[in-house]
Copies of this chain bind each other. A is one copy, B any other.
Amino acid sequence: MAKQVVPETERRRRRPTRQGTVLSEKLIVRTALRMLREHGSTGLTARRLGAALGADPSTLYRYFAGLDDLTRAIGEELMGRALDTWTATGEWRSDLRALGRAVHASYLADPQAAVLTASRVTGRPREIAVDETILGILRGAGFPDADAVVVYHAFIDLTLAFAALDAGTLALTDEARAADEEMWRSTYAELPAGTHPHIAATARLLAGRMNHSAYPVVLDTLLNSAAEQLAWAHARRHPDPADT
């Protein structure tokens, strides 16, 4: 059984569960997100999700090919949320910055889910929509296709990579985070200047920095570099007589 999953759009009969709830992909994904929030990034199990839905765990396999498939659907949901909070202004740089931050923020809003999904390509509609949007912004700004593709690649990978990394620290349980911070204080902050002069000298500054994400800083350097690249490409096509 459960070999083939009926696509959500062709689903016809909706039999209520023994406990009364009527299932749907959306309900399952939303419940899964809640489970992740409540029980941590390893707390999403078929049994637990089934119990929360008032359904047998095996029922999930009528909607998803496996937990892996469900995971991709969760990622798609996060991408969709990011796209929904974003609006275009027409200025390519601020549009890209806003879009990157929206994706990053959307993942960080559900860190436990982000940990599971950020490094996976889903190939689902809203993810494709994000890609199309980014390429559209770049090409609309005048980037030659070859340059647009390079910037697009760096932009999307950078954003997802930081989403995964930053979500990782947020997703720790309170307990684990406390242990981590304690570890930090007891090792990094206490290193003797004799063996580790540079860490010792900057320990105070480090403590203030490491709590924040480096994503905004790196994103801006990428956008700056892209802007220069665009200027060159433009100059090459419309040479300024004063430059010769």
Contacts and interface: CB of A to CB of B under 8 A. Distances in A.
Interface string A202-242: 10011001100110011001101100000000000000000
A115 to B, nearest CB: 8
A220 to B, nearest CB: 8
A196 B131 CA distance: 10
A145 B199 contact: no
Contacts of A214: 153-154, 157-158
B164 A128 contact: no
Of A157, A160, A164, A188, most B-chain CB atoms within 10 Å = A157
Interface stretch (A7-15, A18-26, A117-125): A117-125
Of A119, A199, A206, A209, most B-chain CB atoms within 10 Å = A119
Contacts of A135: 198-199, 202
Interface string A121-164: 10100001001100110010000011011101110011011101
Interface residues of A, number: 51
A209 B149 contact: yes
A226 B191 CA distance: 27
A131 B132 CA distance: 38
B209 A150 contact: yes
A177 to B, nearest CB: 11
A2 interface: no
Interface of A: 115, 119-121, 123, 128, 131-132, 135-136, 139, 145-146, 148-150, 152-154, 157-158, 160-162, 164-165, 168, 180, 183-184, 187-188, 191, 196-199, 201-202, 205-206, 209-210, 213-214, 217-218, 221-222, 224-225
